[in-house]
Amino acid sequence: MTKYTLLNRRMNSEYRISQRKLAVIVIVTFILFLYALNRNSSCDNDESLSKESQHDVDNNLPIIYAVTPTYYRPVQKAELTRLSHLFRLVPNLFWVIVEDAEETSALVRNLVNRAGLSNRAVLLHAKTPTDFKLTKKDPHWSKPRGVEQRNEALKWIRKKVKHEPGHAIVYFMDDDNSYSVELFEEMSKIQRSRVGVWPVGLVGAMYVEKPIVENGKVVGFNSMWRPERPFPIDMAGFAISTDLLESNPSAMFSYEVQKGYQESEILRHVTTRDKLQPIASNQILVWHTRTEASKLDNETKLVKKGLPQSDNDMTV
Backbone angles phi, psi at 297, to 5 degrees: -55, -40
Binding residues for ligand NAG restricted to 262-301, rule: CB under 6 A: 295, 298
Question: Closest approach of Cβ 295 to ligand NAG, in Å?
Answer: 6
- Which candidate in 99, 148, 209, 263 is catalytic? 263
Q: Is 150 annotated as a binding residue?
A: yes
Closest approach, Cβ 298 to ligand NAG, in A, equals 4
63-70 and 93-99 strand pairing: parallel
When the beta carbons of 178 and 291 are compared against ligand NAG, the nearer one is 291
Our CB check for ligand NAG shows the closer of 16 and 305 to be 305
Residue 300, annotated as binding a ligand:
no
- Looking at the Cβ atoms of 283 and 291, the one nearer to ligand NAG is 291
Q: Is 16 annotated as a binding residue?
A: no
**Distances from the Cα of 83 to the Cαs of 2, 38, 70, 72, 258, in angstroms?**
73, 30, 12, 16, 29
* 263 annotated active-site: yes
Residue 70 is assigned to a ligand binding site: yes
Smaller CB separation from ligand NAG, 282 or 298: 298
Task: State in angstroms the smallest separation of the CB of 58 from ligand NAG.
Answer: 48
Query: In angstroms, what is the minimal distance from the CB of 194 to ligand NAG?
Result: 49
Q: Confirm whether residue 315 is marked as ligand binding.
A: no
Burial class of residue 304 in the structure, from the number of CB atoms within 10 Å of its CB (0-12 exposed, 13-18 middle, 19+ buried): exposed
Q: Is 304 in the site for ligand NAG (CB under 6 A)?
A: no
Given the rule CB under 6 A, which residues bind ligand NAG? 295, 298
Binding residues: 69-71, 100, 145, 150, 174-176, 288-290
Binding residues for Mn(2+): 176
- Residues marked active site are found at 263
Binding residues for UDP-alpha-D-glucuronate: 69-71, 100, 145, 150, 174-176, 288-290
